Structure 1
């Protein structure tokens, strides 16, 4: 179904049932899902958030400057990227960690052509440090990197099985959408991604699929063209 995908994972997803940090069991589950998808011959890029360690938007509440807090959040995404890279390599997959902020001892700087070449050689590329700029979320980074590497789709892995009319964890009457246009999602005020990320995908005709990453086999099903989650196109 897809030749090249960009998988967006939230930092909170890596916590599993913990209150903080990285759950080894959740990391192992995600690694298994990614490996099964990679075995189909699909090129995979990943953007991971840092909310399980630090969120820039929470910085101001603790008296930290917003810009400083955002950079702290970017470093948290690199920590998660290193953990994911280690887990994937332990499973026998070749990976490269690339960062929007230069830190040569830890990872490569993001260079578009180099990232594409890694993908063409069959390596999984993990993008850390967001866009490298404050005031941009990792959703925006996922959209931007997907466009830069010419990905076919953005797969946003969450803990719910798609986009709902309301928060399904709070409203038992919330209904799930199987598909939406960008315009419909905008008019309904659905909180799929932040507006910058959403607009980038819309303007570049890049589809988004929101799905439950915690359900075994979901990522593999989507990669094979089976319907799961919500498609925004």
Structure 2
């Protein structure tokens, strides 16, 4: 990792970081602690040196120590893994539903949407108790007491977008906007996948229901086309 530098963020969902690092990196951050769980679905960082309570410390150590110490490598490695997971989660799994999509597509001030770091739709509203402390009418940036603890209303989870994830904000979708209305065919993938074969009533939901849920009856005379036995 030192020679090659940090790995770039994935460009496709299939390439995303799944919490499993290479064998050499795992040994550097945990000794042999993480090896027992390498073939399990659990993430590696929870087994790094210093990433849990005192029992996770490197034998003979009494604290985290410096960045190059065993515990330091474990803690820094855990934070790095979590940051990769956070960034790729935002990139691939959380599609904001509060009105940022237009700027994401069109960009702002000559900057492409994917490079934007703050969004007007995620500003604190004037009625927020933290409006003034968060920057008010000017550029909003959470600092001081706003980032010392988690706020009850969920504000300031993101320093530059203080309203993100707060009370009253729409929850981010897990479905890409291009796939939300596939009948519009906004991109080549949607057009190739559906090819005009999908709309509100195509395929006919009644036909699908009959095909899936209709079956031959063992005693059709008793079923009487769904009417049941006489007097039932």
Query: Structure 2 length normalisation: TM-score?
Result: 0.22
Query: Structure 1 length normalisation: TM-score?
Result: 0.22
Q: Which has the larger radius of gyration?
A: 2
Q: RCO (CA 8 Å, sep 6+): is it higher in 1 or 2? A: 1
More strand by share: 1
